[in-house]
Amino acid sequence: MDKHLSEEDSDNIDWDTEDELEIQDTTFSSCRDLRTNGQYAISGDGEASSSSVPGQSTFIQKFLVMGFSEESIAKAIEQNGENSDLVLDALLTLKAIEDSPEEQPSASPHLEPCINSDDSSSEYNENFLDDVYDEDSWSSDSDYCTNSVKQCYVKEESNSLSEKEQTILFLANMGYPVEEVSIAMERCGPEASVSELTDFICAAQMAREEDPYLPEDVKPKLNHGSGGYKKRKMFNQLCKSKKPRAIFDEETIRLPKPMIGFGVPTESVSAIVRRTIPEQAFGPPFFYYENVALAPKGVWDTISRFLYDIEPEFVDSKYFCATARKRGYIHNLPTENRFPLLPLPPRTINEALPLTKKWWPSWDPRTKLNCLQTAIGSARLTDRIRKAVEAFDGEPPMRVQKFVLDQCRKWNLVWVGRNKVAPLEPDEFEMLLGFPKNHTRGGGISRTDRYKSLGNSFQVDTVAYHLSVLKDMFPNGMNVLSLFSGIGGAEVALYRLGIQLNNVVSVEKSEVNRNIVRSWWEQTNQRGNLIDFDDVQQLNGDRLEQLIDSCGGFDLLIGGSPCNNLAGSNRVSRDGLEGKESSLFYDYVRILDLVKSIMSRQR
């Protein structure tokens, strides 16, 4: 799940190509479903019109497709320039004026919202928002409401359009940029309801607006004109109506020092932690979400806001084992009566790797390793270090010591001989992270893939400490929905706690990781059922309802969405929850809400 490195950044990390910066300026013409072929585009009245007319740029065509007249488009462009957001806001304002009772209806078949003229002002229809965005609309039976709303908003003349095209027109008419609608439909899947799409767009807009790492020219312009005000009002109403927002301090959530969350077994806590869980966050199911602690500013505020405003628990795994791993956890589990896995894992480098003690130089003060990465130091680097240290009879000078220690900390190099350092072996990774020996060999994969899989995993001892409260609650075993499962850190933690796994639905994109989990399941002679999926978007309302019916409901929903776009060392695409991979966080929220809704109806 995680690709976060230590505080020491490196430009040499071989990040996945899937981490590329998401293109913000996706053109409308890329939506192939809106074109009948290479020469014709679907116009607003559902008829085909030539898309190769001279003088009609792609910028103009995308508004023609939405049903606006050329005259209105030209006027809006003259006033606002070629800025999609501002032009769309202006067109919506002009359309609202044209559609008011005082004006004669236009000869062209525009799309007419079924609202009063007052509702098209900036004080837009708050009751409508309550109807569209209530929490029940996230359940699988929201299609009826969604279709009713769309039918109200789209005239009979547009019946010839596909359902996808009608949805795009409907959301564009509400004031959402077409580019963002297209991205949302791609991410949420073809079966997504309007409420799911608007939630995704709202969260994406707010995350980009608050992210200090994004350039100003790619941040959403939410406050320009009446249309911009209307969209901002809708965003605020959406988040307010979905879940109450806690009152945070003016500054964003800060990481605690020491990073021990609500307590760790090796450190004393000065006071008993008492926290209040909002009523709507109560289970079933229990849920547990994890991601990197050192995320861009505002990310954890957003994560907390979408997970019922629960306070994150930030923990560094160095209090559980010999390696650091700074993570944030949001969950609705009790915090009392936790207990650690036994035997306690070694907590220092020399305890974990006793053979290194003989060769450890006195000028290397490390007792803990930094966060384990998905890549390791090269043979060329270790050879450079050997030559640098061997050049001196006694202790090397300070400048050489500094170079060596910097590289050792960055790449977690350990001393394996006189003046010789080496990266950790995969089985040493497994031991430090709490997995059984040879856990990642079960997938029949290369050493490189083993490092990658382990670097993206849970630290089992840390997670097991938090999950330990479930042991007495479920003496007959549990049903678990594991999202972004990786190599099965959650399943291993529950198994090591002695909790029987009755049914596990595991969702993991990587075939390598799925093979590792399947191999572990078979080698440990699990008696329950393991069902795996390769894409979280396959879990729509209908599929979840089938799974819940078959296993009798989920007791725990656990997972940590990809941190590719959050990790501090990822300088290429550190664009927060808007990134291509890290935006899958919203699928975690979507699935959690669906599971809670379905299970509440069945109780």
Higher pLDDT, 23 or 251: 251
Active site residues: 563
Q: Which of 7, 1, 557 is nearest to 326 (CA)?
A: 7
Q: Residue 276: its pLDDT value, please? A: 84
**In a domain? residue 585:** yes
At residue 149, does pLDDT exceed 80?
no
Q: In terms of domains, do 404 and 543 share one? A: no
Identify whether residues 545 and 580 lie together within a single domain.
yes
The count of structural domains within the chain is: 2
d(CA 242, CA 228): 21
The answer on 391 and 466 residing in a single domain is no
Asked if residue 596 and residue 462 are part of one domain, the reply reads: yes
Lowest mean pLDDT among 31-45, 353-367, 431-445: 31-45
Whether the pLDDT of residue 198 is over 80: the answer is no
Q: Is the pLDDT of residue 141 over 50?
A: no
Q: Is position 244 within any domain?
A: no
State yes or no: pLDDT of 422 exceeds 90: yes
Higher pLDDT, 515 or 138: 515
* Pair (517, 531) in one structural domain: yes
Inform me whether the pLDDT recorded for 227 exceeds 70. no
Instruction: Count Cα neighbours of 589 within 13 Å in the Cβ-side half-sphere.
Output: 25
Residue pair 322/352 in contact by the 8 Å Cβ criterion? yes
Phi/psi region, residue 598 (left: phi>0; alpha: psi -120 to 50; beta: rest), is alpha
Q: Is the pLDDT score of 41 beyond 50?
A: no
Which domain covers residue 391, as residue numbers?
A: 349-432
Q: Is residue 113 part of a domain?
A: no
Q: Tens digit of pLDDT for each residue in 469-485?
A: 999 999 999 999 999 99
- Alpha helix (H) residue ranges in 175-256: 178-188, 194-210, 225-242
Mean pLDDT for the stretch of residues 492-503: 97
Looking at the domain assignment, is residue 597 inside a domain? yes
Shared domain for 377 and 303, answered yes or no, is no
Taking residues 62-74, what's their average pLDDT?
Answer: 80
Which span out of 14-28, 264-278, 545-559 was modeled with the highest average pLDDT? 545-559
Mean pLDDT for all residues in the chain: 75
Segment 62-71 shows an average pLDDT of: 78
pLDDT at 157: 41
Q: What is the CATH number of the domain that holds 314?
A: 3.40.50.150
Domain boundary among 401, 432, 463: 432
Is residue 572 very low, low, confident or very high in pLDDT (cuts 50, 70, 90)? low
Distance between CA atoms of residues 351 and 357, nearest Å: 9
- In terms of domains, do 480 and 512 share one? yes
- Whether residue 264 lies inside any domain: the answer is no
Tell me: do 317 and 292 sit in the same domain. yes
Q: Is residue 140 part of a domain?
A: no
Picking from 403, 432, 461, the residue at the C-terminal end of a domain is 432
- Single out the residue in 397, 432, 467 at which a domain terminates: 432
Confidence tier at 271 by pLDDT (50, 70, 90): low
pLDDT the model gives residue 20: 26
pTM: 0.61
Backbone angles phi, psi at 298, to 5 degrees: 90, -15
- pLDDT 10s digits, 276-307: 889 889 878 999 999 999 888 889 999 999 99
- Does 58 fall in a domain? no
Say which range, 1-15, 182-196, 273-287, 432-446, has the weakest mean pLDDT. Answer: 1-15
The answer on pLDDT for 56 being more than 90 is no
- pLDDT at residue 217 is higher than 80: no
Contact partners, residue 121, CB within 8 Å, separation at least 6: 96, 226
pLDDT at position 54, please?
43
Pair 332, 473 in one domain: yes
Judge if 544 and 562 occupy the same domain.
Answer: yes
Q: Are residues 549 and 511 in the same domain?
A: yes
Angle formed by the axes of helices 379-390 and 398-411, nearest 10°: 160
Q: Does residue 299 form part of some domain?
A: yes
Mean pLDDT computed over 42-52: 34
pLDDT-based confidence at 192, cuts 50/70/90?
A: confident
Q: Identify the sign of the CA torsion 24, 254, 467, 443.
A: positive
**Are 290 and 358 in the same domain?**
no
